Structure 1
Amino acid sequence: MFTALYADSITLHLINDDNVAQVYDLFRGYPDSDIMLMEITESYLPDYEDGQRIKYGFYAMLNDELAGLSLLGIDSVKPATGYTGADTLTHMRGKGVAPRSKPHLFYLAFELLGLNRVETGCFVSNLSSKRSIEKTAGFQLEGIMRESGLNDQGAFEDEYLYAILRRDWERLYDKSQVQVL
């Protein structure tokens, strides 16, 4: 088993049951700590189904500075399909942390876990997430899911759906660039 993935000055450290207390401590003391701590609890903790891990949450370091969180989940309904997510600390936004972390997650999904498809999305009103997703080579817009989620105001909102396939990853990415630690 691995503990981290490294490429392009970014290290994604796997969140496990044995380090979650330290991860919570890492995210304390920032202006957006409350939001990030809530996100860790809601989205980034390990999850298992039938003894298999289906959620791989990571804390991201840009060089030696805490940058945010990244996620690869495995969809139990759609065979060989995963999904990604990211939350970046406010002061680290604009540095390309989320899109530059995707090769790590794609390596995990396609090389280590044997998935065929990885999806992501965002609310149509979230322009910064849309830009981040569109900076990631391989993600293709597949459509808009009408009123598929509740936004922060509690209203239904449309979401963009993007995906990358294994064959796209094999064509666009050099898997030797990701180091398993």
Structure 2
Amino acid sequence: MVAELLRHYVPTYDRGRRTNFGFYSRLGSELAGLTVLTVDSWDESSGSTGADVLEHMRGRGVTPGSKPHLFFLAFELLGLNRVATGCRVSNLASKRSLEKTRGLQFEGIMRESGVNDEGQFEDEYLYAILRRDWAPLYDKNRVQVVY
């Protein structure tokens, strides 16, 4: 988990603007996993999300529970228009999690988009949400921003 944290969740910057926002998730008082929002293009107002959940915390709603917070950051605070996410086709638990996330829409399959743990090229399901999809689904007044 530490290697994954250092590889994908540490803040990064492009032209002085932060482009990688990493967070940890908890269930009760226990660490449950990591989630990230990456600004892929400031010019195109687009980003992407990812998550890693500790094995013993999987299936307990950690990732779908974290997405509304990432969407608030993306759309309300950063002014993005589109946020994409996905998972390998073999990762059925992640697919179910994405399907449970309000507002995400299935957009297609990216063929052989990456290499899986076995070193094989694998297809990936692609989902995304637009600002206009998010606005009616989430009550931004229920979010408290702590600086």
TM-score tier after normalising by the smaller chain length = over 0.9
| Aligned partner (choices 145, 154, 163) of residue 110 of structure 2 | 145
Tell which deviates more after alignment, 169-178 or 95-104.
169-178
Q: Report the number of matched residues.
A: 146
Q: Deviations over 1:138-167 (max 9, x none)?
A: 100000011111111111111010000000
Distance in 1 (CA, whole Å) between partners of 2:143 and 2:25 is: 14
The TM-score with structure 2 as length reference comes to: 0.96
The TM-score with structure 1 as length reference comes to: 0.78
Distance in 1 (CA, whole Å) between partners of 2:144 and 2:26 is: 14
Distance in 2 (CA, whole Å) between partners of 1:102 and 1:77 is: 20
Contact (CA 8 Å) 1:75, 1:81: kept in 2 or not? yes
Runs of 4+ more than 3 Å apart:
none
Deviation of the 1:170 alpha carbon? 0.3
Distance in 1 (CA, whole Å) between partners of 2:71 and 2:42 is: 20
Q: Deviations over 1:30-63 (max 9, x none)?
A: xxxxxx1111011000100100000000011223
Contact (CA 8 Å) 2:114, 2:121: kept in 1 or not? yes
Distance in 1 (CA, whole Å) between partners of 2:73 and 2:20 is: 12
Residue 97 (structure 1) aligned with residue 62 (structure 2): yes
Contact (CA 8 Å) 2:59, 2:93: kept in 1 or not? no
Equivalent in the alignment of 1:17: none
What does 1:1-181 align with in structure 2 at a 5 Å threshold?
Answer: 36-76=1-41, 79-181=44-146
Distance in 2 (CA, whole Å) between partners of 1:116 and 1:44 is: 22
Change (3 A) 1:133 1:110: same
- The structure with higher relative contact order (CA 8 Å, sep 6+) is 1
Task: Note the residue ranges of structure 2 that are not aligned, 5 or more in a row.
Answer: none
Task: Note the residue ranges of structure 1 that are not aligned, 5 or more in a row.
Answer: 1-35
Please provide the CA RMSD for this pair.
Answer: 1.2
AA of the residue aligned to 1:107: F
Deviation of the 1:80 alpha carbon? 0.4
Distance in 1 (CA, whole Å) between partners of 2:51 and 2:43 is: 21
Equivalent in the alignment of 1:11: none
Aligned-pair identity (%)? 66
Counterpart secondary structure, 1:171: coil
Contact (CA 8 Å) 1:103, 1:178: kept in 2 or not? no
Distance in 2 (CA, whole Å) between partners of 1:60 and 1:74 is: 20
